[in-house]
Structure 1
Amino acid sequence: MAVNLAHFALNADDIPTSRAFYEKVFGWSFVPWGPPGFYHIRTGAEDAPVQGALQQRRELIAGRRTIAPECTFTVEDVEATARAVVAAGGRILMDRFTISGVGHLIFFEDPAGNAIGAMQSDADAE
């Protein structure tokens, strides 16, 4: 089963400075959404936008600040993906979390130490 990139997130300590930087460098626009310090990034073609976010820096892996972009991939079954991650030598960082109207998300660490997201889309998620 092949999967596709569904979302990327840029982590920042200073959200206004990072936002201004990407507005100037890439011409992106930002829309506040959800928790404070979280913005959707508007990028890509109008008919095929790329889903992105600018968010307050966090630690997906305890004790290690996330300093690289986070990538989240679309999967058909997030629970099956979690089992496959563990069976293949990865580690679950964040158990299934439901985002209302979006879907179900996990984060895992691959054997190289990368934090990766897997999202099962579900517009009816509550």
Structure 2
Amino acid sequence: MSHQGQDRKIDNIEFNVTDIARTKAFYGSVFGWTFTDFGPTYTEFTDGRLTGGFTTGEEVRPGGPLIILYADDLAATQQRIEAAGARIVKPVFSFPGGRRFHFVDPDGYELAVWSAN
């Protein structure tokens, strides 16, 4: 899968939910979204334009979904984030398809950055 041209752009939105089946039924019936399951705790959704995910892997996050950006170079992006004064709140970890980390921006919003590399 090629991610060329996606460096430093919003790539994914992830919602923490309490019940994936209920969530899929809701968004599927209301908005016509389609889903691809990746195990019992994660399903990817697409609305035909944007891809995101629903997970029961973490508690429901106050303040809304997790915005996930893509980076060609994860380490360099983390260095830029830290140099700009943001705080890393979840160190780099691997998952099927790549690696990612989470940070909190200067206003307190938590975001994530992932890379297939």
Count of paired positions = 110
Match for 2:36 among 21, 27, 31? 31
- Report the 3-state secondary structure (helix = DSSP H, G, I; strand = E; otherwise coil) of the residue aligned with 2:76: helix
1:62 is aligned to none
State percent identity of aligned pairs: 28
Task: Give the conservation status (yes or no) of the 8 Å contact 1:79–1:96.
Answer: no
Per-residue CA deviations over 1:43-76 (Å, capped at 9, x if unaligned) read: 225xxxx3211111625xxxxx513111111112
| Residue 76 of structure 1 pairs with residue 80 of structure 2 | no
Name the structure where strand makes up a greater proportion of residues.
1
- Report the 3-state secondary structure (helix = DSSP H, G, I; strand = E; otherwise coil) of the residue aligned with 1:13: coil
Q: Which runs of 5+ in 1 are unaligned?
A: 60-64
Task: Give the conservation status (yes or no) of the 8 Å contact 1:39–1:54.
Answer: yes
- Report the 3-state secondary structure (helix = DSSP H, G, I; strand = E; otherwise coil) of the residue aligned with 1:23: helix
1:52 is aligned to 52
Give the C-alpha shift of residue 91 in structure 1. 0.8
Give the C-alpha shift of residue 3 in structure 1. 1.7
| Residue 91 of structure 1 pairs with residue 87 of structure 2 | yes
| Residue 106 of structure 1 pairs with residue 101 of structure 2 | yes
Task: Please give the root-mean-square deviation of Cα atoms over the aligned residues, in Å.
Answer: 1.9
- Report the 3-state secondary structure (helix = DSSP H, G, I; strand = E; otherwise coil) of the residue aligned with 2:82: helix
Match for 1:3 among 3, 8, 12? 8
The AA in structure 2 aligned to 1:54 is: F
Give the C-alpha shift of residue 98 in structure 1. 2.1
Structure 2 length normalisation: TM-score?
0.80
Q: Which runs of 5+ in 2 are unaligned?
A: 1-6
Structure 1 length normalisation: TM-score?
0.75
Q: What CA distance in whole angstroms lies between the structure 2 residues aligned with 1:98 and 1:58?
A: 16
